[in-house]
């Protein structure tokens, strides 16, 4: 503890950089490294992943167990409804205040990333695209980052209504089939994602990375966007929370995926982080931003910011893994 306090003091005076120093392999050391990496860009990610019970237990487990099998209450519309927004020349936010769905407009139709809860999908995705002057019938691919209800419940509707091809990781296709029911219906098993898979539609390609951890089939994505005609690169982080069966092996899987994501993002030149919850990437607030002429997009955090994001994931996971040993 004394060492961590000294580190904190040194860091706060700017005497040392944790990124350059060896991180002590303690809970405190990893939390501090995550905190340094997060800065103000990723405070939400830091708070969700690094502020955890000291005994390594999962703070949400009791609530999830109590609610298992019960129909989910649909929250009041005013608590989640968000107007759709164009965020890049070819990218549109069609999410809620809490959950994200993104439409990438290509020369041959739309690639949709994530579909949110059933209660929001019709209003935000179908309604949102129409408000933006886009035709939801041109959705050709729906790529689901992982098989949890807050990201996959709109998939079946888009599959049935528009014949959109649905892409998920193999373990998550298995998981939703085994569960057998979900609001909005279980989508028919379609395309199984593979590592490095390139989903090309017209002039745009989304590259898929298998990043197991949050779920065993979690996917992350890399893709280019156009910002006032200039090409920028997005790294989409597909799963974050530690709401899984906590074991050292599972955290090792998560940590390896965070590194893989960070390395691939760096190689792609990504300067933007997208995710599937506003608490991780502030998508809702950032998509409200009114840019002045010449001002950079509020989504741009730079290649350094993208690297720091991956560090927050891995350092918080290392801290969480060490906490398991205490319990």
Chain residues binding Zn ion by CB under 5 A are 148
Instruction: Considering the complex, state which of residue 167 and residue 232 has its C-beta at the smaller distance from Zn ion.
Output: 167
Q: What is the DSSP string of 92-125?
A: EE---SSB--EEEEETTEEEEE----HHHIIIII
Rank residues 146 and 323 by Cβ distance to Zn ion and give the closer one.
146
The distance of closest approach from Cβ of residue 296 to Zn ion in the complex, given in angstroms and rounded to an integer, is 30
| Minimum distance from residue 207 beta carbon to Zn ion (Å) | 21
Taking the complex as a whole, the smallest distance from the CB of residue 38 to Zn ion amounts, in Å, to 20
Smallest separation, CB 144 to Zn ion (Å):
11
Residue 97 or 233: the one with the smaller Cβ distance to Zn ion is 97
The runs of H, that is alpha helices, within the chain are: 2-12, 27-38, 43-50, 61-67, 77-80, 118-120, 128-131, 149-152, 155-162, 170-179, 248-268, 278-281, 283-288, 302-326
Q: How remote is the C-alpha of 120 from its chain's centroid?
A: 18
Q: Which residue is nearest to Zn ion (CB)?
A: 148
Q: Rounded to a whole number, what is the distance in angstroms from the first to the last CA of the chain?
A: 18
The tokens for 27 are 């809970």
3-class SS at 73? coil
Nearer to Zn ion, 148 or 321 (CB): 148
Least distance CB 117 / Zn ion (angstroms): 12
Decide: 170 and 193 in contact? Cβ < 8 Å.
yes
Our CB check for Zn ion shows the closer of 85 and 142 to be: 142
């Amino acid at each position: 503890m004394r060492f961590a306090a000294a580190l904190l003091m040194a860091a706060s005076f700017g005497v040392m950089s944790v990124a350059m120093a060896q991180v002590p392999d303690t809970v405190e050391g990893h939390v501090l490294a995550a905190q340094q990496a997060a800065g103000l860009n990723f405070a939400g990610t830091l708070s969700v992943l690094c502020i955890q019970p000291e005994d390594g237990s999962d703070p949400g487990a009791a609530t999830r167990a109590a609610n298992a099998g019960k129909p989910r209450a649909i929250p009041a519309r005013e608590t989640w409804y968000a107007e759709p927004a164009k965020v890049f020349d070819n990218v549109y936010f069609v999410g809620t205040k809490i959950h994200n769905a993104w439409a990438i407009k290509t020369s041959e139709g739309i690639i949709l990333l994530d579909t949110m809860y059933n209660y929001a999908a019709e209003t935000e995705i179908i309604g949102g695209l129409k408000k933006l002057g886009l035709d939801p019938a041109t959705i050709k691919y729906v790529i689901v980052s992982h098989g949890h209800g807050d990201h996959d419940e709109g998939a079946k509707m888009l599959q049935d209504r528009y014949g959109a091809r649905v892409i998920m990781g193999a373990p998550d296709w298995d998981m939703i089939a085994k569960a057998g029911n979900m609001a909005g219906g279980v989508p028919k098993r379609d395309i199984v994602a593979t590592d490095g898979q390139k989903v090309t539609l017209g002039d745009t390609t989304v590259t898929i990375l298998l990043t197991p951890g949050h779920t065993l089939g979690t996917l992350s994505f890399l893709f280019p966007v156009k910002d006032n005609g200039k090409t920028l690169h997005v790294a989409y982080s597909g799963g974050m929370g530690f709401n899984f069966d906590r074991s050292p092996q599972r955290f090792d899987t998560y940590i390896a995926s965070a590194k893989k994501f960070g390395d691939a993002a760096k190689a792609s030149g990504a300067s933007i982080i997208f995710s599937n919850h506003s608490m991780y990437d502030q998508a809702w607030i950032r998509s409200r931003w009114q840019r002045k002429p010449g001002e950079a997009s509020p989504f741009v955090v730079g290649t350094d910011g993208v690297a720091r994001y991956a560090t927050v994931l891995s350092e918080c996971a290392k801290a969480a893994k060490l906490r398991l040993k205490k319990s």
